[in-house]
Amino acid sequence: MNEQYHLFPKHQDFVVCDLGSSPGGWSQACLELLGVSQPEAYAWDNESDVDESPYDENDYGDVDIDADFDFGYKGKKLKGKEKTTSRQERRIEEKEEEEGDNVNEDAEGFIGDIKVVGVDLIPTEPLLGARFLQGDFLDPTVQQKLLELTGKQGADLILSDMAPNIRGNRIADIEASLELCRSVLEFAQRNLKVSDSKNPKSGTLIMKHFSGPAFEEFREKSLAPLFAKKIKYTKPEASRQNSSEAYFVCQGFKGPRIL
């Protein structure tokens, strides 16, 4: 994915906002691509202390809830929704102390050395270089906290892997997905950094959506006018062929930002 769309800069301060961050695989891949190594490999076998998934796969029909979205990161990735262990948290704390414990909030609300800010309804595994919120993205107070964490300049890249609760009614499910995409776009207009000559890699929005005519209209009327580059449609290789989910890749946010 990164090799195809060149999402990440080689040498530049860069902040990612991960919406639907649990269990943390996307965030970890982003951190590695931004040069932030973890104190230990964040990959656990399926025999570890794992919570049973709250989702019934049969309820989702042809939707891949945990499709592997490859950013070009070749290291180990998180598996499942493992419980946070005190040992993992201690290693991160030790790493931060070794580096001078410089994770402090500055006057603009940005936490120094934090490259990824994420949110999910369920807990996300702790990662060095990331701060995660547990809450409902649609809650205005949660969105406000995300805005505070990314700072006044906004996020360079916003990833949304969120999907609505599937009811089995295709029309209703598509409408729910569309409403979620609209909410993500509105949030991006407030929090996505404008792409310019100084920050050419900034201003990227990636969002999950369901396939259908309504989303083609959303792409043409809502997304295209805001981004300099053509809106790309991509489907993860790990996603089942009959899955209706895909992603919009929007690059070159032109603004204006809604403050």
Give yes or no for a contact between 210 and 243, defined as CB atoms under 8 angstroms apart. Answer: no
Bin 258: left if φ > 0, else alpha if -120 < ψ < 50, else beta. beta
228 contact partners, CB below 8 Å, separation of at least 6: 195, 203, 251, 252, 253, 254
Cα(191)–Cα(186) distance, integer angstroms: 9
3-state secondary structure of 132: strand
166 contact partners, CB below 8 Å, separation of at least 6: 59, 60, 61, 63, 173
Cα(251)–Cα(229) distance, integer angstroms: 6
Q: Which of 208, 221, 230, 232 is catalytic?
A: 208
Active-site residue 208, yes or no? Answer: yes
Cα–Cα distances in angstroms (integers) from residue 165 to residues 44, 159, 173, 241, 258, in the given order: 27, 19, 8, 21, 29
Residues forming a β-bridge with 116: 16, 130
Percent of the chain as helix, strand, coil, to the nearest 5: 30, 15, 55
Strand order in the sheet with 232-234: 130-134, 116-120, 16-19, 157-160, 204-210, 245-250, 232-234
The residues assigned a catalytic role are 208
